[in-house]
Amino acid sequence: MPSRSVPAPLRVRRLPERAAYDEATIAPILDEALVCHVAVVREGRPVVIPTLHARDGDRLLLHGSKAAGVFRDLRRDDTVCVTVTLIDGLVLARSAFHHSVNYRSVVVHGRAEEITDPVEKTAALRVVVEHVARGRWDDVRPPTAAELRETGVWAVPLTEASAKVRTGGPKDDAEDLALPVWAGVLPLRLASGEPLADGGDAALPAYVAGWSRQPAASPA
């Protein structure tokens, strides 16, 4: 993501001190999140669809069935807005008004470009699979030509992206600090359960047994 001046539509106006526009903040949020929400306009109405994504350097990859409505929409109008949000904790204040959450979020605006070359599309799908479970691609059967034809992959440049982050405890009013109400932060995180094998006698891979949503360093 090249350094750039922040376009007016991209600037965070509500609590701008929580905003960031740099790759060092934006990239790790995109890399940790499993699901993004893709917003398009369909027949004059806003539509928001959740889907898996992956960051590939300075672009965001979206994928799914080529028949999916969101991809048909992008063929008519490639303008898109993509968001991801990670919730890190519940912020419990002494007053109802000051309750909040600690979060990390990213908003991406741009024009999506469809990836049609089979070699480039396969490489992009590898990035998506590795984003879900690092090390998985080398274990599985790669897509066939027919599967590639049925799969849509789109790339959105990360040249117009912003992050917004909240950390810390509740911000109670001074007159509420003496209230006999517990206040603080309840940390939250995404954790895996016990893997459930789907038959067969293949050994449980280490990347499944040790799966975590705190990914290793992603490609720049």
Between 82 and 2, the more confident residue is 82
* pLDDT the model gives residue 3: 44
**Pick from 10-19, 100-109, 135-144, 164-173: least confident:** 10-19
Q: Average pLDDT of 176-181? A: 96
Please check the confidence at residue 1 and state whether its pLDDT lies above 70. Answer: no
Q: Give this prediction's pTM.
A: 0.88
* pLDDT the model gives residue 187: 96
Quick: pLDDT tens for 30-62.
999 999 999 998 888 899 999 999 999 999 999
Alpha-carbon distance of 57 to 218, in angstroms, equals 8
Q: Which helix (H) or strand (E) holds 196?
A: none
Quick: pLDDT tens for 126-162.
999 999 999 999 999 999 999 999 999 999 999 999 9
Q: Which domains does the chain have, with CATH numbers?
A: 12-170 (2.30.110.10)
Please check the confidence at residue 215 and state whether its pLDDT lies above 90. Answer: no
User: What DSSP assignment string belongs to 94-149?
Assistant: SSGGG-EEEEEEEEEEEE-EE---HHHHHHHHHHHHHHHSTT-GGGSPPPPHHHHH
Quick: pLDDT tens for 68-122.
888 888 888 889 999 999 999 999 999 999 999 999 999 999 999 999 999 999 9
Alpha-carbon distance of 147 to 122, in angstroms, equals 10
